Chains A and B, each alone.
Chain A
């Protein structure tokens, strides 16, 4: 599951999963890897590919600003 989440996240960030693994606590928004639009695509993919439905008003930026946090939020629901 974690691998899958990371794969989807990496695709939206425009990098390889291995790149994200280098620093799992990197701030995705500060680094310019994610923006509001990319987050929406991310939520759609989580729903379609993993069956994890998250509403946009449910997740604050602060809850999903690092790869580790994204994995935590999504796997809690999975």
Chain B
């Protein structure tokens, strides 16, 4: 079963959430019940023995790595060990993306890239000394938390665990519940109705040809937004009802004034993850090690590495890689215009000019998504 995809899923979801609502309204912690519901849904989502065994083996593998490196990092903080840990964590994802023939389809697990990113964040934070020791329960609940399991949002373990610890009062929970229900409804509207209409009456009907490609570019951009933002809202709303305030994933991306602004509004949990764990770390190392004469070079190379990671994270196909390069180049261009062209930043703040900035940004984004869709090559 795919989460948030069928009426059957929602029937079970509603029934499963009732005890959570009662616990929440009584001001009690929901996490243990939440763990039971998560197990139930894992069994429904990974509904064959092979899938279930594989996802279990995957998570145990990640847990083992975290457990071992927790101890190792306390004694020695060697950078290569961090790389080794991250690489070991990535092995299942890489195998999946390459779809190794020998392994067959067992490696095709829903949401593997999301699971991997959640686990890698934990190990980097342990290395940085920000997490002393992650509790066993917290680890599994965070990594496998079912609303976010297949397509995010990618929460952060420190935020998640702090919230589990804190809990909510009756009044706070009531507010969370209201927002959660609203998010689920808006998500259903976006994901099923709007994106469904766009697919059925627009992009699903298009033939090939240049004009159709242009039409597809805009249609697909809108489709992806309503589909994915809707999905995220359903996941976030469900998490709210389980007493976990998962951060938002989209914030009016079509109002973005430039590409940097766009990435602060689109698939936010992924872009901020990449900012914190790829871009910033690379640039910091480069600045500290004085790898480049010009500090901005570090930033530009950092953008390319980050955006390439973003592309490849979706898969090893050529169109994902080109999508990454495209956005890396746009981020650099963004910086050059901001820093080298006098008055450019000021113009961007000028209300009169903002519609133009918005228009250009939307078109650049839409073209990127056309590449991403794989329709061109």
Contacts and interface: CB of A to CB of B under 8 A. Distances in A.
B130 A37 contact: no
Interface stretch (A2-10, A18-26, A52-60, A70-78): A52-60
B275 interface: yes
A43 interface: yes
B295 interface: yes
A57 B288 contact: no
Size category, A interface: 10 to 19
Interface string B283-318: 110011000000110010000000000000000000
Chain B: interface secondary structure? helix
19 contacts: A36-B275, A36-B279, A36-B280, A37-B296, A37-B299, A40-B280, A41-B287, A41-B295, A43-B284, A44-B287, A44-B288, A47-B288, A55-B129, A55-B130, A56-B284, A57-B125, A57-B277, A58-B128, A58-B130
Given A55-B130, A56-B276, A58-B128, A32 B287 contact: no
A55 B277 CA distance: 11
A57 B284 contact: no
Interface of B: 124-125, 128-130, 275-277, 279-281, 283-284, 287-288, 295-296, 299, 335, 345
Contacts, number: 36
Contacts of B296: 37
Pairs A-B, 4 closest by C-beta atoms: A56-B280, A44-B287, A55-B128, A40-B283
B130 A57 contact: yes
Contacts of A58: 128, 130
B20 to A, nearest CB: 29
A41 to B, nearest CB: 6
A73 to B, nearest CB: 15
Contacts of A47: 288
A56 B281 contact: yes
A44 B284 CA distance: 7
A56 B276 CA distance: 7
Given A36-B280, A40-B280, A40-B283, A48 B288 contact: yes
Nearest to A47: B288
Contacts of A56: 276, 280-281, 284
Interface in A30-44: 32, 36-37, 40-41, 43-44
Nearest to B346: A32
Contacts of A55: 128-130
A40 B303 CA distance: 14
A56 B125 CA distance: 11
